[in-house]
Amino acid sequence: MAYKDLREYIAALEERGLLRRITAEVDPELEITEITDRISKREGAENVALLFENVKGSKMPVLMNAFGSYERMALAFGVEKLDDVADELTEILKIPHISLQNKMNLMTLIPMARKAINFPKYVKNAPCQ
């Protein structure tokens, strides 16, 4: 599943219980990193993505640890498990008669190909304006 924007990915995280919203005011200098460090080192279900909604001196929320587990990375790629993405890379590496350097160059195109599928739309009035 591809996501139209970051909001959709955040909603998918929240729907699966992989996101915790922090509504208390936090300082962006050291406080956000300290909280994220503690959460990201936890095991299992306690290691979640964090959405800081009230960042001191900012009108924008801050999303942290969004890709901090295999489950969240697979969700971001739109696959059941990360091995599915690894299979794509393996297929590229199996292409015969291509140098290793060219294979490495092809691998760099995977993210671009994914972006091309979900190319952003230009709008005059975006929700963040």
Per residue in 50-108, pLDDT (tens digit) is: 999 999 999 999 999 999 998 998 898 888 888 877 777 777 667 666 676 776 777 77
Q: Which helix (H) or strand (E) holds 33?
A: helix 31-40
- Fill in the amino acid letter for 10: I
Q: Quote the pLDDT of residue 120.
A: 63
Q: Read off the pLDDT band of 12 (50, 70, 90).
A: very high
Measured CA to CA, the distance from residue 22 to residue 30 in angstroms comes to 15
For position 56, what pLDDT does the model report?
A: 96
Tokens 């800081």 -> residue? 52
pLDDT tens per residue across span 29-41 = 999 999 999 999 9
| Predicted local distance difference test score (pLDDT) of residue 119 | 60
* CA distance from start to end of the chain: 27
Query: 32-45: buried (b, 16+ CB within 10 Å) or exposed (e) per residue?
Result: beebbeebbeeeee
How many C-beta atoms lie closer than 10 Å to residue 29's C-beta? 10
Could you give the residue ranges of the DSSP H alpha helices within the chain?
6-15, 31-40, 70-77, 82-93, 100-117
